[in-house]
Chains A and B, each alone.
Chain A
Amino acid sequence: MNSTRARLLCFAVTVGTSPARPAKEPLEARLLMSFLNLTSVPYSSYVPAPRTALHDVHAVIKQVWLLLLLLLLARASLGARFALAAATAALSAVALPPGLWRPQLRRLGGLAALLFVFTAIGADGVPPVLQPRSVPPGIEGLPGVSPAAGGYRYVILHLWLITVTRRSIALAVSAASLTFVALQSASLCLTTTPPEELAGALRTLLAPAGLLGSPVADIGLTLLLSLRFMALVFDEARNLALGLAARGVAWSQLGPGGSLQIAMRLIARLFANLMLRSESIAVAMTARGFAGPAAHVVHPMGDRPSSPLANAAALALLAGVAACIWSFS
Chain B
Amino acid sequence: MDVHVTFGNKRVLRGASLAVVRGSLHVLLGPNGCGKSTLLRVLGRQLAPAAGSARTDGPISFVFQNPDHQIVMPTVAADVAFGLGRYTLPATAVRAQVAAALATVGLAAVAQRPTHTLSGGQRQRCAIAGALAQAPKVLLLDELTTFLDGGDQRGVLEAVRACVGGPDQVTALWVTHRLEELAYADAASFMDGGRVQVTGSPAEVAEHMRRLGARW
Chain A residues packing against B (C-beta within 8 Å): 41, 45-46, 48, 194-196, 224-225, 227-228, 231-232, 277, 280-281, 283-285, 287-291, 295-303
Contacts and interface: CB of A to CB of B under 8 A. Distances in A.
A281 B70 CA distance: 6
B78 A299 contact: yes
B74 A289 contact: no
Nearest to B72: A285
Given A224-B74, A301-B94, 6 more contacts: A48-B112, A228-B115, A232-B116, A289-B86, A298-B73, A301-B98
B178 interface: no
A297 B82 CA distance: 8
Given A46-B114, A228-B72, A277-B69, A301 B81 contact: yes
B77 A290 contact: no
A232 B68 CA distance: 8
A297 B83 CA distance: 9
Contacts of A280: 64, 66, 69
A302 B112 contact: yes
A186 to B, nearest CB: 16
A276 B77 CA distance: 26
Contacts of A281: 69, 72
Contact of B62 (A46, A287, A291, A302): A287
B46 A298 contact: no
Contacts of A301: 75, 77-78, 80-81, 94-95, 98, 111-112
A298 B69 contact: no
B113 interface: yes
A227 B85 CA distance: 19
A289 B72 contact: no
Interface in B84-123: 84-86, 88, 91, 94-95, 98, 111-116
B83 A195 contact: no
Q: Which 4 A-B pairs have the closest CB atoms?
A: A301-B77, A231-B116, A195-B74, A280-B69
A299 B81 contact: yes
Contacts of A290: 72, 82, 85-86
Contact of B91 (A41, A225, A299): A299
Nearest to B81: A299
A195 B82 CA distance: 14
B74 A288 contact: no
15 contacts: A41-B116, A196-B74, A277-B69, A281-B72, A284-B64, A284-B69, A288-B83, A288-B134, A296-B85, A296-B86, A298-B73, A299-B91, A301-B75, A301-B94, A303-B77
B30 interface: no
B130 interface: yes
Given A45-B114, A299-B84, A299-B91, A283 B46 contact: yes
Nearest to B127: A284
A300 B78 contact: yes
B35 interface: no
B111 A228 contact: no
B49 interface: no
B202 interface: no
B73 A224 contact: yes
Given A45-B116, A232-B116, A284-B64, A303 B74 contact: no
A5 B131 CA distance: 62
B113 A48 contact: yes
Contacts of B112: 48, 194, 301-303
B78 A194 contact: yes
B183 to A, nearest CB: 28
Contact of A284 (B72, B81, B115): B72
B194 interface: no
Contacts of A228: 71-74, 115-116
A160 B44 CA distance: 74
Contacts of A225: 72
Contacts of A48: 75, 112-114
